[in-house]
Amino acid sequence: MTDTESQQFSFKAETKQLLNILAHSLYKDREVFLRELLSNASDALNRLRFEMVTNHNVLDPSAELKIHITADKDSRILTIQDTGIGMTRDEVIENLGTIAQSGARKFLDATRDQKVDFSQVIGQFGVGFYSVFMVAEWVRVTSHSFNPEAEAVSWFATGDDSYEIGPAEMSERGTKIEIKLKEDAAEFAEEYRVKNVIHKHSDYIGFPIYVGESKEAVNKQTSLWRTSKQEVTEEQYKEFYRQTTLDFEEPLTHIHMSTDAPVQLYALLFIPSKAERGIFSLRKDDGLKLYSRNILIDEYNKDLLPEYLRFVQGVVDSEDLPLNVSRETVQSSGLMPKLKKVLTNQVIKELENLAKNNAEKYHTFWQEFGVYLKQGVAAAPADADSINPLLRFKTNLNPEAWSSLEEYVSRMKEGQKEIYYIVGEDPKSVLRSPHLDYFHSQGTEVLLLTGPMDSFMLMGLHKYKDFDLKNVAQADVDTSKKPKEETEAERMPESDFGGLVDQFKKVLGERVTDVRASNRLVQSVARLADADANTNPELQRVYKYLGKEYEIPKKVLELNPSHGILKNLLKLELGSELQNIIIEQIYDSALLVEGLHPDPSSIAPRVQQIIEAALTRKTG
């Protein structure tokens, strides 16, 4: 600047370092500089609006409260001007020259961590304005205070060690920021690019943002989540969801809430109809949009809901949050856990209402997102009591319908003290499990757990109300009432059965801990029982699903002395090849039913041998 009244000032040491980092380094998402400047402009307008509540002696009181952006792509000049509270000379020096030295120092400390995303933390230390030097060759700030007696002032800097301040020609109230963009930042001199940034970061600033010659504001201004529920139509909710996600399937439900205690927040949340994102989805990650006073401060905030609710989409806005505050700062303040608790409770409550009032829609939800809730039971035991009523299961007596734990309990037999379940590989094969023989014969209902996440869920699901959950494979059953399908006459003689048991032990060797008769099998030839009552079969499956190395657990092979296969097995020559491979097959089939066989395809050659032997005997 050439004006004789202009003065040159040196930046403090920390600010020099900060500017050097910003001016000479490349960061992703450099567009955040515009977010920061629009945030500052919005603050200036808010401050003026508050001032005018009690003070009518302001410069140009009838001027529209607005932000105006012009972009000249030929000269690479971007201008952001507001009609806010403006600044005096002293305020410019304070705000742009010496502000937040401690913040600058903390920012520098943060930059030592090479993993830090600077575009996300630039605003948290009070240095957001300086982010403009990520894209600027030089910056000129011209400001005129709301005070009619004040004079306009200009601030100019290139990002080097100093800045200049002098008088300016500006009659209107507010602040104008002119930016000479670097060549590699010329995209921000394109109006379409500016509009894209506004839609992404500042769409719901409460003042109109005009771009270029247009008389129509680019931003929406009125945030739907801050609008009274009574004033929002279902179609507006659906349209908002479509615009923010590009998901053209209607959401299953939405949650529109506002609270003042224990925290102040506005929220508009959606539960999608599908777990999988479409290829055109705008949302590329889990997390909620987090706003502070209508300014987006985090595009994908994962701290507002527990991980098991990460499928929820939407917006949270809290005036209790400082703009662009870091995750660590918010968490240490205790605010984020409070927000999380309020939001989590509200989502759980909405799911409870959906289950109660629209079972069909809830079953759609369950089939898409039930796996997330199962994960929550295992990973968030403190939340299990609120999640458990939302769980749904199919049972051996109702294999096509979904049942809640409460519904299961209501159908329990008189005197039944446990909730029974069975774990298997798929819904159809588990119904043929030998572990269910006794329960089928007694008409006792058993939960069918056949999903990969079920074994993980059981690590946290031990009890519902006063009833313990019990795996049917380990359940104690009253066998004094023998099933009508079995009589003593049908059992093979003890001497014959004893000889067969010895042959099973000889063939299987150390793969089993014992072979014995079962008094609970009806339709099945054999079952594998745990040798130790304290064995955790769910943990065995967890290891399998995690791909961890595990040994086939040595179990007890229980045989059904009444079964035709065993009776016919006695007719074969003791120790013959065919008898031995059938014994192997009975054991492998039991492993297969348990879902514990390490190599199911290895059974095929033996099955072929048995088929060939059967055909030879039949045609021989």
Q: DSSP of 307-346, one letter per residue?
A: GGGTT-EEEEE-TTSPTT--HHHHHHHTHHHHHHHHHHHH
Q: How far apart are CA 522 and CA 80, in angstroms?
A: 82
Neighbours of 144 (CB within 10 A): 25
Instruction: Give the torsion sign (CA, 220, 225, 228, 233).
Output: positive
pLDDT tens digits, residue range 181-211? 999 999 999 999 999 999 888 887 889 999 9
The residue type at 319: E
The residue type at 124: Q
- Using DSSP bridges, classify how beta strands 174-181 and 67-72 pair: parallel, antiparallel or unpaired: unpaired
Q: How far apart are CA 536 and CA 205, in angstroms?
A: 56
Q: Give pLDDT, residue 74.
A: 96
- Using DSSP bridges, classify how beta strands 512-517 and 555-559 pair: parallel, antiparallel or unpaired: parallel
Q: How far apart are CA 568 and CA 256, in angstroms?
A: 68
Residues of the chain with pLDDT under 50: 1-3, 26, 99-108, 114-126, 324, 487, 489
**Contacts within 8 Å (CB) and 24+ apart, 477-483:** 477/438, 477/439, 477/520, 479/438, 479/519, 479/520, 481/442, 482/519, 483/437, 483/438, 483/441, 483/442, 483/522
Domains of the chain plus CATH, in order, are: 7-211 (3.30.565.10), 224-364 (3.30.230.80), 394-619 (1.20.120.790)
Q: Give pLDDT, residue 108.
A: 47
CA neighbor of 325 nearest in space, from 293, 299, 304, 297: 297
Neighbours of 132 (CB within 10 A): 24
Q: Give pLDDT, residue 409.
A: 97
Phi, psi angles (nearest 5°) of residue 81: -130, 135
Phi, psi angles (nearest 5°) of residue 597: -70, 125
Global confidence as pTM: 0.70
pLDDT tens digits, residue range 590-608? 988 877 788 889 899 999 9
Q: Give pLDDT, residue 107.
A: 45
Residue 303, classed as helix, strand or coil, is: coil
Which DSSP symbol is given to 523?
A: S
Q: Give one DSSP letter per residue of 43-92, joined into a string.
A: HHHHHHHHHHHH----SSTTS---EEEEEETTTTEEEEEE-SS---HHHH
Q: Give pLDDT, residue 540.
A: 59
Q: How far apart are CA 12 and CA 63, in angstroms?
A: 37
Q: Give pLDDT, residue 321.
A: 78
Q: Give pLDDT, residue 306.
A: 96
Contact (Cβ atoms closer than 8 angstroms) between residue 574 and residue 532: no
